[in-house]
Amino acid sequence: MVELRDQLFLLDAGTGVSNLFGHKDVLERYDRITVLLSHYHLDHIIGLIYLLPHLKGKSLHIYGPGVPCYEDTTEGILERLLQPAFFSRPLREFCGEVRCFDYAGLDFTVDGIPVGVVPQRHSAPSFRLTLDNKLIYATDTAFDPSDWRGDYRGMTLLHECWDVVSRAESKHTSAEGLLEGLPPELLRSTYLIHKNPEWTTGDYDALQRIAEAKGAHVACDGMILEI
């Protein structure tokens, strides 16, 4: 969840949306929730159903990579899942105003706030999203240092690390590969996200050590960042 210039954003909508019950004070400050989707794998959209109790009196805007990245619109893709028998209520009835937008793989704005869009390397079209030139959200992507040429000073990065050490042919990122290959100016403001349920305690400890050695951080639920 990101509060930015009087707008409330969610970066994807995984099971973490269930944590919003603990943040009602934040939610009640906004009339609209804007969800930015990187892609449609279930672990990134299943939490839309947990939004329902928070939408009374609000509107819901969802931006996703629809046509031409996929053969259907964001609305069409989500409606296939959010309807009976999978869920009691169709998406369009979640609240008074539900609007879906296709960002079509190109940069766009939300009420003047720029959202940068970069295609990623994954098993389905997924996109790195940069909010207001400040916060980069990169999940569900294989990491390639050549995708990170540029000036990232002053930016905060939330990056997936599904694997602790590198694996051949992976459609995901390893902590080891990521923290070796990122521009150095980003390391101290890098937070590792997309926790792998297969991590053992040993994996988790190794991840903490790899992150600490580079000055990066392992994100956890409830963490609050100032960007």
Residues that bind Zn ion (CB under 5 A): 41, 43, 140
Considering the complex, state which of residue 37 and residue 98 has its C-beta at the smaller distance from Zn ion.
37
Residue whose token pair is 């619109």: 73
Nearest distance from residue 141's CB to Zn ion, in Å?
A: 9
Q: How far is CA 191 from CA 45, 78, 181, 194, in A?
A: 21, 29, 15, 10
Nearest distance from residue 78's CB to Zn ion, in Å?
A: 16
- Candidates 1, 20, 36; CA nearest to 113 is 36
Nearest distance from residue 164's CB to Zn ion, in Å?
A: 16
Rounded distance between C-alpha atoms, residue 122 and residue 89, angstroms: 31
Considering the complex, state which of residue 41 and residue 214 has its C-beta at the smaller distance from Zn ion.
41
Considering the complex, state which of residue 16 and residue 116 has its C-beta at the smaller distance from Zn ion.
16
Nearest distance from residue 144's CB to Zn ion, in Å?
A: 17
Nearest distance from residue 192's CB to Zn ion, in Å?
A: 14
DSSP string computed for 135-179: EEEE-S----GGGG-S--TT-EEEEE--BSS--TT-SS-BHHHHH
Considering the complex, state which of residue 98 and residue 192 has its C-beta at the smaller distance from Zn ion.
192
- Candidates 120, 95, 93, 100; CA nearest to 45 is 100
Question: What counts of helices (H) and strands (E) characterise the chain?
Answer: 7, 12
Neighbouring CB atoms inside 10 A of 198's CB total 8
